[in-house]
A and B are shown apart, each in its own frame.
Chain A
Amino acid sequence: MNSIIQFATQLIRGHAAAPAAADVHKFHGGVHPNGHKLASTAQPIAKLAIPEKLVLPLRQHVGYIPKIKVSVGEHVLKGQMLAEAEGTLSAAIHAPTSGTITAIGEEVIPHPSGLPDMCITLTPDGKDAWATLTPVDWRNTDKKELVASLRASGIVGLGGATFPTHIKVRADGRSQVHTLVINAAECEPYITCDDMLMRERADEIVKGMEIVKFLLGAEHCIVGIEDNKPEATVSMTEACKSLANTSVKVVPTLYPSGDARRLIHLVLGIEIPHDKRSTDVGVQVFNVATVLAIYRYFAFGEPAVNRIVTMTGSVNKPQNFEVLFGTPLQNLIDAAGGAKTGTTHFIMGGPMMGFDLPTIEVPITKAANCIIAATPDLFAAPPPAMPCIRCARCADACPVNLQPQELYWFSKSDNFEKARDYNLFDCIECGCCSYVCPSDIPLVQYYRYAKSEIIAADKAREAADLARERNEFRLARIEREKLERAQKHAERAAAGKAESAKPENAAPEQTAAEAAKPAAMPAADDAKKAAIAAAVERAKALKAAAAQAGDAGNQPKETVAESKKPADKKPVDDEQAKKDKQALIAAAIERAKAQKLAAAQAGTTPKNVDNVSPAVQAEISEIEAIREKAKQTADTKDAD
């Protein structure tokens, strides 16, 4: 039935769509932007000469910045580690060539913000002398050691995500990967670095696949290639013959088939649950360039020092180049014959998900898969956005099957909770919705905005919760100390009385003093413990009550009746002190119980059946004041 409907739909829509391979599982939506890939595939990959200066940002990957291991003036060899991965989610930085460290400081990095960040500047000596490299005999090495070794390789996902590779191959102890998917879809227009790599170095890629397959313990391996790369398909199919259980699957050219979840669905038919990772269903995805880098590292000991970059767009000779990390963008542009006149700026990444480089003075990093020289002709400035006409073309194009028009509406009106309900966080920001929008609404920007607002609000809430908890603990401590002081005071007073009074004349009221005597210390200890427990209980109860009452502004203090004797009156004698204290504790426990009960009755307005002394009331208002302050602080912090 579905196929009939699909067929009818295609017929009605006038699609002359090529029949997809029978074993490919299509995903919803997707768009067909013009590929513009031919220009940069005419020439083989060229090696870019060593520049006069290399600027290596520490932040070239997802995760923590690595720790610098060199100092200015130090001479380093090619492949020598300059910065060491710190923490699990981090990647090392190596010297792309031999030379001298000439600066360590802030430089502009290729990031949408245009802000400077910490970089290591290396002035090459031109010798390009390798450090001593140690290949890894991966077949005969413990996997844990291999992962640790990869952590020092500096290899990250070269498809553009720059996720540290060693994390993707370590066993997480939860699931076993059975299939390795090689992402060779390269679905973004203009980008051809993976295509060229597959055409020229398929053998090395497959050797890398063998290693990754081994590391993951995967049985199968599938290479997903879009059908606009026939040469790469041929060379990869040929090379894959040497590897068991490995196949090349051609998928239809449809952006964003290179998105990992989309690709897994395409080649395996597995839809990864939104709250799970691909490894949870036994699949791991690697980009072709990453796999090749892994091979170079294990086979020759070469760490990540270069990558293939597509230099295309408005340049005279679009081409792919093997570029050392840290190479100034200008060198790459020059190698591609220079930018044509009319070039206004440069885009890093593809035209669907890339970003404007803030300046030409940026280095090539691990994330730089493609640089596009942009002109107003190639990428026209969008006309002013018109109102959304709810045509739902965006919904038809969304590969996640979201309703972008609804998300836009909620994001625009700051209705963030609703946006979250409509699965805003499943949005992969692929840009398909903006691409098809007849009103030229920058939809993705709205989603980015809404996401960042929600994340910021969540963080602020977390901070406020933490502050509240801290404060409540502090209040509990103060209460405890107060009780301890009162107890000590009572003990001292009792001791004084006991001294002056004769034992045989012990009056009934002196039993209190007896109890407070050093001989009865365990009892006193117990009382103290009870007092502390009661204080903690009270703090908990207050928290619960406040949480209930807080929203409605129905503060406990407004509902309490005043009947208890003010606590600020000093007990006249020890007996009274003791009784008061016991009463206080009992009252606190009672109150806590009552409030706990009230809190348990979710949805109902808490009624404070107990009586609260002015001291407690003061405490409550104090808590509230502090909470308010904490909230404000969190807000201002956020604003900063």
Chain B
Amino acid sequence: MNRSPYITDAPTVSVIMLKVLLALVPGIFAYTWIYGGGILVTILIATITALASEAALLKIRQRPIRPYLSDLSAVVTAWLLALALPPLAPWWLVVVGTFFAIVIAKQLYGGLGYNPFNPAMVGYAVLLISFPIIMTKWPAPLILAQTKLGFMEQLQFIFGHTLPGGVKMDAVTSATPLDYLKTQLMLKHEVSSITEAPIFGAFGAKGGEFVTTAYLLGGLYLLQQRIISWHLPTAFLGTLAAMSLVFYTVNPAHFANPLFHLMSGASMLCAFFIITDPISGPTTPRGKLYFAAGVAVLTYLIRVYGGYPDGVAFAVLLMNMCVPLIDAHTQPRVFGHTKN
């Protein structure tokens, strides 16, 4: 029997996924600090839903349950979706989104390794289209909210959709900066005056920019651990910055500056955790650059001209469709060949 090589030196899939989860911890920590402990409950609901639906589908598909559950890929999907949802999202929203991500977007395509679309983003897109009002209603960061909800009050809201007596919905929610910018621009206001609103921080959203920075830290950890390659985040952030710089330079009154785009919405989460999903992304180095640049361009266009405040989910899904094409046309030159 010729079964060499006999030695391996690679983190297993489980270890890779575990490191991704670990890299999310700073972001979750910042999130909890800014928006309250409700997010932990959301993550928990998503995780349980993901594991339960993954196990159920594996059983139906007659696949071994233990090795596939312990690869932790379902947990990664659950966490990413939970972090993409608005804080204090009702529990059933989390369940529906996660179920869709795991069952439809992953298991029905063949499970781990076979899903052409990023499962978390499929779940997100389904929720955004199906429940646009809930999905775009973000609670204000605790530092800005007129009424600060405690952890138990947040739980009550998540499970019963009820606020403590006397508290109005408006008192706990606020527009996200991306959303606010868009609506105010439509009212012919200028960017410089819009960003003076209290919801804007030094770079992006007040409070939110801490979460974004925490994602960046987690992403750098993944790079250092060689879990992700530099191509994707670099190309994504670079293209997003370059594109917003061009628009900003041409008309600073109407277009926000590059730093705002980098630090707002899901930019950092996308750069380090979403487009870096290897299964639904390209494999060639050049392909990764094109893919990430494509996501950045689409994200920017949807943000500026599209109907949604942020465009990461749709941009990622649209670029997922292009992956086979990108891979086929970016094959690197093989040793000893002049051109592929």
Stretch in contact with the other chain, from A297-305, A432-440, A524-532, A534-542: A432-440
| Distance of A354 Cα from B3 Cα, bound (Å) | 8
B318 at the interface (CB under 8 A from A): no
Q: Is the CB of A437 within 8 A of B10?
A: yes
Q: How large is the interface on A (under 10, 10 to 19, 20 to 34, 35 or more residues)?
A: 35 or more
B5 at the interface (CB under 8 A from A): yes
* Chain A residues in 8 Å Cβ range of B12: 383, 386, 438-440
A384 at the interface (CB under 8 A from B): yes
B1 at the interface (CB under 8 A from A): yes
Contact partner, B67, options A32, A347, A384, A392, Cβ 8 Å: A384
Contact partner, B334, options A8, A13, A274, A442, Cβ 8 Å: A274
Q: Is the CB of A13 within 8 A of B335?
A: no
Q: Is the CB of B112 within 8 A of A387?
A: yes
Q: Is the CB of B334 within 8 A of A400?
A: yes
B168 at the interface (CB under 8 A from A): no
A154 at the interface (CB under 8 A from B): no
| Distance of A400 Cα from B333 Cα, bound (Å) | 9
Q: Is the CB of B1 within 8 A of A356?
A: yes
Residues B322-340 near A (CB distance < 8 A):
327, 331-338
Identity of the chain A residue whose Cβ is nearest the Cβ of B281 in the assembled complex: A390
Residues A382-432 near B (CB distance < 8 A):
382-384, 386-393, 395-396, 399-403, 405-406, 422-423, 426, 431
Q: Is the CB of B6 within 8 A of A388?
A: no
Identity of the chain B residue whose Cβ is nearest the Cβ of A262 in the assembled complex: B335
Q: Is the CB of A9 within 8 A of B113?
A: no
* Chain B residues in 8 Å Cβ range of A94: none
* Chain B residues in 8 Å Cβ range of A406: 283, 327
Tally of B interface residues using CB under 8 Å: 42
Q: Is the CB of A189 within 8 A of B4?
A: no
Q: Scoring B residues 268 to 312 as 1 if CB is less than 8 Å from chain A, else 0, what string do you get?
A: 000000000011010110000000000000000000000000000
* Chain A residues in 8 Å Cβ range of B112: 386-387, 389
Identity of the chain B residue whose Cβ is nearest the Cβ of A31 in the assembled complex: B9
* Chain B residues in 8 Å Cβ range of A440: 8, 10, 12
Q: Is the CB of A12 within 8 A of B230?
A: yes
A351 at the interface (CB under 8 A from B): yes
Q: Determine how close the nearest CB of chain B comes to the CB of A85; give it in whole angstroms.
A: 27
Q: Is the CB of A401 within 8 A of B113?
A: no
Q: Is the CB of B7 within 8 A of A389?
A: no
- Known contacts A8-B230, A12-B230, A387-B114, A351 near B7 by CB under 8 Å: yes
Q: Is the CB of A387 within 8 A of B111?
A: yes
Q: Is the CB of B278 within 8 A of A392?
A: yes
Q: Is the CB of A434 within 8 A of B8?
A: yes
* Chain A residues in 8 Å Cβ range of B335: 27-28, 261, 265, 271, 274, 399-401, 426
B16 at the interface (CB under 8 A from A): yes
Identity of the chain A residue whose Cβ is nearest the Cβ of B336 in the assembled complex: A274
- Known contacts A9-B230, A448-B2, A379 near B337 by CB under 8 Å: no
Contact partner, A379, options B6, B10, B223, Cβ 8 Å: B6
| Distance of A31 Cα from B5 Cα, bound (Å) | 12
Residues B175-212 near A (CB distance < 8 A):
none
Q: Scoring A residues 441 to 459 as 1 if CB is less than 8 Å from chain B, else 0, what string do you get?
A: 0101100100000000000
Contact partner, B4, options A34, A352, A386, Cβ 8 Å: A352
Contact partner, A356, options B3, B71, B114, B278, Cβ 8 Å: B3
Residue of B113, B283, B335 with most chain A CB atoms under a 10 A cut-off:
B335
Q: Is the CB of B332 within 8 A of A347?
A: no
Identity of the chain B residue whose Cβ is nearest the Cβ of A440 in the assembled complex: B8
* Chain A residues in 8 Å Cβ range of B224: 12-14
- Known contacts A391-B16, A436-B10, A438-B16, A431 near B5 by CB under 8 Å: yes
A112 at the interface (CB under 8 A from B): yes
Residues A267-322 near B (CB distance < 8 A):
271-276
Q: Is the CB of B5 within 8 A of A351?
A: yes
Q: Is the CB of A403 within 8 A of B9?
A: no
Contact partner, A403, options B4, B229, B283, Cβ 8 Å: B283
Identity of the chain B residue whose Cβ is nearest the Cβ of A114 in the assembled complex: B1
Contact partner, A390, options B9, B279, B337, Cβ 8 Å: B279
| Distance of A271 Cα from B331 Cα, bound (Å) | 19
Q: Is the CB of A379 within 8 A of B336?
A: no
Q: Is the CB of B283 within 8 A of A405?
A: yes
A33 at the interface (CB under 8 A from B): yes
Contact partner, A395, options B1, B223, B284, Cβ 8 Å: B284
- Known contacts A27-B335, A401-B333, A426-B334, A386 near B9 by CB under 8 Å: no
Q: Is the CB of B67 within 8 A of A386?
A: yes
| Distance of A396 Cα from B2 Cα, bound (Å) | 24
* Chain B residues in 8 Å Cβ range of A445: 2-3
| Distance of A606 Cα from B336 Cα, bound (Å) | 41
Q: Is the CB of A391 within 8 A of B278?
A: yes
| Distance of A444 Cα from B15 Cα, bound (Å) | 23
Q: Determine how close the nearest CB of chain A comes to the CB of B272; give it in whole angstroms.
A: 12
* Chain A residues in 8 Å Cβ range of B4: 347, 349, 351-355, 431, 444
Q: Scoring B residues 121 to 132 as 1 if CB is less than 8 Å from chain A, else 0, what string do you get?
A: 000000000000
| Distance of A438 Cα from B13 Cα, bound (Å) | 5
Q: Is the CB of A14 within 8 A of B331?
A: no
Residue of A265, A386, A391 with most chain B CB atoms under a 10 A cut-off:
A391
Q: Determine how close the nearest CB of chain B comes to the CB of A202; give it in whole angstroms.
A: 30
* Chain B residues in 8 Å Cβ range of A392: 229, 278, 283-284
Contact partner, B223, options A12, A347, A434, Cβ 8 Å: A12
Q: Is the CB of A388 within 8 A of B113?
A: yes
Residues B101-129 near A (CB distance < 8 A):
111-114
Identity of the chain B residue whose Cβ is nearest the Cβ of A8 in the assembled complex: B230
* Chain A residues in 8 Å Cβ range of B11: 438
* Chain A residues in 8 Å Cβ range of B6: 347, 351-352, 354, 374, 379
* Chain B residues in 8 Å Cβ range of A393: 10
Q: Is the CB of A438 within 8 A of B10?
A: yes
* Chain A residues in 8 Å Cβ range of B338: 273
Residues B1-41 near A (CB distance < 8 A):
1-13, 15-16
| Distance of A444 Cα from B335 Cα, bound (Å) | 18
- Known contacts A387-B113, A389-B278, A434 near B336 by CB under 8 Å: no
Q: Determine how close the nearest CB of chain B comes to the CB of A267; give it in whole angstroms.
A: 16
Residues A40-91 near B (CB distance < 8 A):
none
* Chain A residues in 8 Å Cβ range of B10: 393, 435-438, 440
| Distance of A527 Cα from B71 Cα, bound (Å) | 81
| Distance of A422 Cα from B283 Cα, bound (Å) | 14
Q: Determine how close the nearest CB of chain B comes to the CB of A346; give it in whole angstroms.
A: 12
Contact partner, B15, options A347, A437, A438, Cβ 8 Å: A438
Q: Is the CB of B8 within 8 A of A437?
A: yes
Q: Determine how close the nearest CB of chain A comes to the CB of B132; give it in whole angstroms.
A: 33
Identity of the chain B residue whose Cβ is nearest the Cβ of A384 in the assembled complex: B67
Q: Is the CB of A352 within 8 A of B5?
A: yes
Q: B residues touching A (Cβ–Cβ < 8 Å)?
A: 1-13, 15-16, 67, 71, 73, 111-114, 223-226, 229-230, 278-279, 281, 283-284, 327, 331-338
Q: A residues touching B (Cβ–Cβ < 8 Å)?
A: 8-9, 12-14, 27-28, 31-34, 112, 189, 261, 265, 271-276, 347, 349, 351-356, 374, 379, 382-384, 386-393, 395-396, 399-403, 405-406, 422-423, 426, 431, 434-440, 442, 444-445, 448
Give 30 CB contacts A-B under 8 Å: A13-B223, A28-B335, A33-B7, A34-B7, A261-B336, A347-B6, A351-B4, A352-B4, A352-B6, A355-B1, A355-B4, A374-B6, A383-B12, A386-B13, A386-B67, A386-B71, A387-B112, A390-B113, A391-B278, A392-B229, A392-B283, A392-B284, A393-B10, A395-B284, A396-B229, A401-B334, A405-B283, A426-B335, A438-B12, A439-B113
Task: Add 10 more A-B contacts to A261-B335, A272-B336 (CB < 8 A).
Answer: A13-B223, A34-B9, A261-B336, A273-B338, A352-B6, A388-B113, A389-B16, A395-B283, A434-B8, A436-B8
Closest 5 A-B residue pairs measured CB to CB?
A: A387-B113, A431-B5, A274-B336, A379-B6, A112-B2
